[in-house]
Every structure is written in C-alpha cells, then in structure tokens.
Amino acid sequence: MAIRRPEVGLLIPIERPWPDVGMATLGVIFLVLVQHSSPLPLRHLLREVVEKVNEYGPFIGVVMAYSAEEEALISSGFFTPNLHVPWVDLSGRRFHIGTISDVDVIYVMSGQRRLNAGITVQILIDVFDVRGIVHYGTAGSANDSMSFGDVSVPKFVAFTGSWNWVKFNTAEGGNLTELSFGTYNLPGGGENRLAEVEFKAEEFYCVNRSMEEVFWLEMDTTWFQIAGRLKDLKLQRCVNETYCLPKSPKVVIGLKGSTADIFVDNAAYRDFLFRKFKVSTVDEESSAVVMTAMSSGVPAMVFRGVSDLAGGGTNWTSTSLSSIAASNSLTVAVEFIRLIGSEKLIGRN
Ligand SMILES: *[C@@H]1O[C@H](CO)[C@@H](O)[C@H](O)[C@H]1NC(C)=O
Ligand SMILES: *[C@@H]1O[C@H](CO)[C@@H](O)[C@H](O)[C@H]1NC(C)=O
Ligand SMILES: *[C@@H]1O[C@H](CO)[C@@H](O)[C@H](O)[C@H]1NC(C)=O
Ligand SMILES: *[C@@H]1O[C@H](CO)[C@@H](O)[C@H](O)[C@H]1NC(C)=O
Ligand SMILES: *[C@@H]1O[C@H](CO)[C@@H](O)[C@H](O)[C@H]1NC(C)=O
C-alpha cells in the first residue's frame, strides 16, 4: 500500500491556543466537538487538524471543477484564507478554509466530470462540518435564448449519460426517452447499425429512504427560494474596454440542466437535448454534486455561466468567454453565499 502523505497548510503550530473563549462558549464548543468528534479514523494523521478546522464551522462547501473556475475566485479577492489553517489536503484535493463575505466556507476544486465531483463532495460532507454545497462554473447553452455570460440557476438537473444501448432492428418501444441514430443520417434519415439508445434514470440512495429511481433531481426548496432573489443581479458584460458582449448577460432562475461525462460540441445533439429534455445548459458535474449532497440530506445549489453554445450557433469560443462565464457564475454564487450567511439556521443541522 502506498504511504499516505497528508498535508496541511499551517501558518502556526497546531498546539497554539485557539482564540480565547469564555466558559459559556467553551461549553458550546465542547458540544459541537462531541457532535463532530470523529470525522476521520482514529489514526488518521489529519484527524486533529480537521477537528480544529471544524471549530470554525459550520461551513458552506464551495465546489468548482477546473482551474479557470478556481482562478475566477482567487482573482476576485472574495476569498479570505483562515489565518491558522488555510488549507488541508485530502485524497489529492486541496480544501481551502476561510471566508467569503464573512461567511465561513471551504472551497475545493474537484477535477472534472462526475466521479471527481462526487468524490469531492462526499469528502466535504463526511469530513467537514458543512451545512450546504454551492457549485459554480461554466456550461454550454442548449437554449437559444441563453447566450454567453448568462448564468443559469437551475431548479432541476439530470444525468443524461446513462443509456440502454438497444439492439439493431428490434422495436422494443419502452417508455424511456430514445435517441435513434438513423434519424440523423445524411442526406436523409434512415437506418443505422448504431440503432438507438434509451435514457435511464439514476439509482438514488438517500438517508432515511429506500432506493428510488430518479431522473430529475430537484434543488432544496428553501435554498432555491433564496436563490430566487438573485434574478436582477448585474453581471459583467465586458472583458476589457474594447471587448464586450453584444447584450448584458442575465441571471436565469428555475430552468433545467443536464450533466454527462461528455463535452457536447454538436448542434444535432444539443438540439435533441433541448427538445426532449428541455435542458438549457449542459455540463459535466452539476448533477453529481447535487445527487451526492442530497444523498446525505445536504442542500446544494448550482450556478452555471454560459461559455459556449454546445455546438449550436456560432463557431467561435475563446478563453475570454470562458473567463467571463466563470466570473459571472462566481458573482451569483457569492451573492447567494451572502444571503445564506445571513440566514444562519438554514442547512443541515
Ligand atoms: C430558455 O431560456 C429562457 C431564458 O433566456 C427561458 O425563459 C426559457 O424558459 C428557456 N426554455 C426552456 C425550455 O427552459
Ligand atoms: C413505463 O412507465 C411506468 C411509470 O413510470 C412504469 O411503471 C412502467 O414500468 C414503464 N414501462 C416500461 C415498459 O418501461
Ligand atoms: C480585449 O480582449 C480581447 C479578447 O480577449 C483581446 O483580443 C484584446 O486584445 C483585448 N484588448 C485590450 C485593449 O486589452
Ligand atoms: C433521519 O431520521 C432520523 C430519525 O427519524 C432523524 O433524526 C434525521 O433527522 C433524519 N435525517 C434526515 C436527513 O432527514
Ligand atoms: C462552422 O464552421 C464550419 C467549417 O468551417 C462551416 O462549414 C459552418 O458553416 C460554420 N457554421 C456556422 C454556424 O457558422
């Protein structure tokens, strides 16, 4: 077995006394400690550090998938690292401890696609005292009414990458949504040995419930209502003095988003997803973040900024569009964190 090399960002020795507290507060901290006393196995080298970190909680877990999205947070200056333990490394991810607008947060870059997103959110929930997950990033737009820089705050997300791949020349005709490849033959539709795929639901395991098959995952009602207040937020329109989007980007609340381990850059498939599932954005992580959080009864919200058109419309993409999309999604996420921070009681107990 490989030797574990846990790391922790410590600007001062762990033994340093923690901020002075009166007797009454001590009692409270003791109770909290008892409640969250063993997030890691007894012999784990970071057990003590994680306990210290959790004294600063509860936190909002902030999750993004890749470096351009993390860069948006770093360059925004919104995040202030904790002076005592600025970060903890677990399973190859760096969990940054600190605040955003005085709200205690732990932010972490998960890596791309479903498995990385799921693993990372599970660690956040199991190890740290987290009361909810905020996920932001870029997305492709599948909806012609959503363009570059717009931010979608979906009410529903689904995983659209789990398929029954059907035999050629059999008419099974279940009631699942089907994608028949022959329909897309050129110059006209016909048969195709790839036949068709049927879109399957996910097995959803959740605390206190028996397994259910679900396709659409719905956001936590309370958190979604709070996000509703963000619809008139002003977003960034210009990358610099000369390069601006043709229209002011907008926040759009309550649409549907789809996730798969697939980067969609194909007009026909984009159109299929919009027509069949009414999804406005496509990405590679959102539904994994939401499902992992929901399994433990933890609320989650998704903020995705449009960085490309998933193969539709124009042919152009650029890093400028990615950065404006990431930064606009971050703007909405940060405003949401502020609102949640002012409603201390919301989230997991
Ligand atoms: C497409 O996006 C617009 C907002 O730009 C929204 O009003 C509309 O409902 C969306 N369409 C669907 C099918 O969700
Ligand atoms: C069709 O859908 C219903 C209700 O969701 C379900 O009970 C039934 O088993 C499905 N039939 C097939 C052939 O998948
Ligand atoms: C503005 O941004 C565009 C796109 O990234 C770039 O091509 C252009 O050089 C920039 N202009 C200035 C003045 O920085
Ligand atoms: C699960 O059930 C227990 C016992 O009824 C309850 O205390 C707990 O709050 C429930 N958890 C969730 C997440 O609903
Ligand atoms: C995209 O580029 C291809 C190849 O350069 C071209 O044939 C096509 O017309 C372009 N599509 C649009 C919508 O501009």
Q: What local confidence, expressed as pLDDT, does residue 88 receive?
A: 97
- In sequence order, what DSSP letters do the residues of 321-348 get, joined into one string? HHHHHHHHHHHHHHHHHHHHHTSTT-S-
Give φ, ψ of 315 to 5 degrees: -95, -10
* Structure-token pair, residue 258: 């789809």
Q: Tell me the average pLDDT across 32-50.
A: 75
Question: In which band, very low, low, confident or very high, does the pLDDT at 242 lie, cut at 50, 70 and 90?
Answer: confident
| Ligand 1, residues at Cβ distance < 6 Å | 143, 145-146, 252, 255, 278, 280
pTM score, whole prediction: 0.87
Q: Tell me the average pLDDT across 250-262.
A: 98
Most trustworthy range by pLDDT among 27-41, 231-245, 277-291: 277-291
Give φ, ψ of 71 to 5 degrees: -55, -40
pLDDT in tens, 312-321: 976 666 778 8
Q: Tell me the average pLDDT across 231-246.
A: 92
Say which ligand is closest to the CA of 212: 2
Say which ligand is closest to the CA of 299: 4
Question: What is the percent of the chain with per-residue pLDDT over 90, rounded to a whole number?
Answer: 77
Q: What local confidence, expressed as pLDDT, does residue 18 receive?
A: 38
CA distance 317 to 265: 11
On the question of pLDDT at 262 being above 90, the answer is yes
CA distance 241 to 15: 50
Q: Quick one: DSSP state of residue 219?
A: P
Question: In which band, very low, low, confident or very high, does the pLDDT at 344 lie, cut at 50, 70 and 90?
Answer: low
Alpha helices by DSSP H, 220-318: 221-227, 267-277, 286-295
Atom of ligand 2 nearest to the CA of 174: 13
Q: Identity (one letter) of the amino acid at 150?
A: D
Which among 297, 306, 228 has a CA at the least distance from the CA of 270?
306
Q: What local confidence, expressed as pLDDT, does residue 39 receive?
A: 78
pLDDT in tens, 277-296: 999 999 999 999 999 999 99
Question: In which band, very low, low, confident or very high, does the pLDDT at 1 lie, cut at 50, 70 and 90?
Answer: very low
Q: What local confidence, expressed as pLDDT, does residue 241 receive?
A: 86
254 CA from centroid of ligand 2 (Å): 27
Ligand 4: residue whose CA is nearest its atom 6: 208
* Structure-token pair, residue 172: 């099974």
- Among 141-145, 194-198, 307-311, 316-320, the minimum mean pLDDT is found in 316-320
On the question of pLDDT at 133 being above 80, the answer is yes
36 CA from centroid of ligand 1 (Å): 43
On the question of pLDDT at 4 being above 80, the answer is no
104 CA from centroid of ligand 4 (Å): 25
- In sequence order, what DSSP letters do the residues of 121-184 get, joined into one string? HHHHHHHS-EEEEEEEEEEEE-STT--TT-EEE-SEEEE---EEEPPTT-----SS-EEEGGGG
310 CA from centroid of ligand 3 (Å): 24
315 CA from centroid of ligand 5 (Å): 6
Question: In which band, very low, low, confident or very high, does the pLDDT at 38 lie, cut at 50, 70 and 90?
Answer: low
On the question of pLDDT at 32 being above 70, the answer is no
* pLDDT greater at residue 43 or residue 213: 213
Question: In which band, very low, low, confident or very high, does the pLDDT at 5 lie, cut at 50, 70 and 90?
Answer: very low
Looking at every residue in the chain, the average pLDDT score rounds to 89
3-class secondary structure per residue, 174-197? CCCCEEEHHHHCCCCCCCCCCCEE
Say which ligand is closest to the CA of 144: 1
| Ligand 2, residues at Cβ distance < 6 Å | 174-175
pLDDT in tens, 149-193: 999 999 999 999 999 999 998 766 678 999 999 999 999 989 999
Question: In which band, very low, low, confident or very high, does the pLDDT at 346 lie, cut at 50, 70 and 90?
Answer: low
Question: In which band, very low, low, confident or very high, does the pLDDT at 197 lie, cut at 50, 70 and 90?
Answer: very high
Q: What local confidence, expressed as pLDDT, does residue 334 receive?
A: 98
Torsion angle in degrees (nearest 10) through CA of 117, 255, 106, 349: -100
